[in-house]
Amino acid sequence: MPAYNASQTLEQTYAEIPFDIVDDVVVVDDCSKDDTSDKARLLGIKHVIRHEKNTGYGGNQKTCYHFALSIGADIVIMVHPDYQYTPKLIPSMCYLIANGVFQVVLGSRILGTGALKGGMPRHKYLANRVLTFIQNVLTGAKLSEYHTGYRAFSKEAIQSINYQQNSNNFVFDNQMLSQLIYKGYEIGEVSCPTKYFDEASSINLVNSAIYGLGVLKVSVQHRLQKMGVLHLSMYQ
């Protein structure tokens, strides 16, 4: 769980984790201004890491994945602790990986009608659809969305990419998917309901615009790398 100011929603998210199949929970608190770390420890979460300096969303995930692999994870699931995504889908996502169907599985808000029903603002929905269309054209994949924060990976998939070279900001997610697609991984998706409410995390308009431009840049780089025009180390 990459966490930032998640004290109010962490307990709700944690309560829905299926511990019959989940062995460990890792919370990385990216220098929150609230008591996220204390709340995590009160819930009995064994692995709580607090950054003394804010590293950004991507920087937080780098710590998450590195630590998960260091404690021997075979399947790593990222779910945000802001309760936008329900952990109840973890068994379905893990099943696809454990049985060799896919090595990467996304919880998609766009499959079905979950996004708008859950309160996703229409301008965000539209931006999601436009960016995803462009990304599919440039990467050659056929995903319903690239912008979900609910992801499951096999150990092998994570270890095969150079995610430490990625951005520390929000575009990290898209760089990671670009790397996995470039490596030839097929990515599965399951339909995921989502919830939008005041306590759920969100990025402001300026950061959203920066994110959108970053996504387009990653997609163009992916295409040029595939054509042999670029030779970026992040794809090695």
Phi, psi of 50 (to 5 degrees): -115, 125
pLDDT tens column, 209-223? 899 999 999 999 999
Report yes or no on whether pTM surpasses 0.85: yes
151-154 and 75-78 strand pairing: antiparallel
Beta carbons of 188 and 106 less than 8 angstroms apart: yes
**DSSP reduced 3-state for 56:** helix
pLDDT for position 199: 57
For tokens 């779910």, the residue is 79
Report the DSSP beta bridge partners of residue 152: 77, 105
Class for the domain spanning 2-235: alpha beta
* 204 — pLDDT class (breaks 50, 70, 90): confident
Structure tokens given for 176: 């990671």
Beta carbons of 60 and 149 less than 8 angstroms apart: no
Q: Which of 164, 162, 181, 163 is nearest to 219 (CA)?
A: 181
Query: Has residue 181 got a pLDDT over 80?
Result: yes
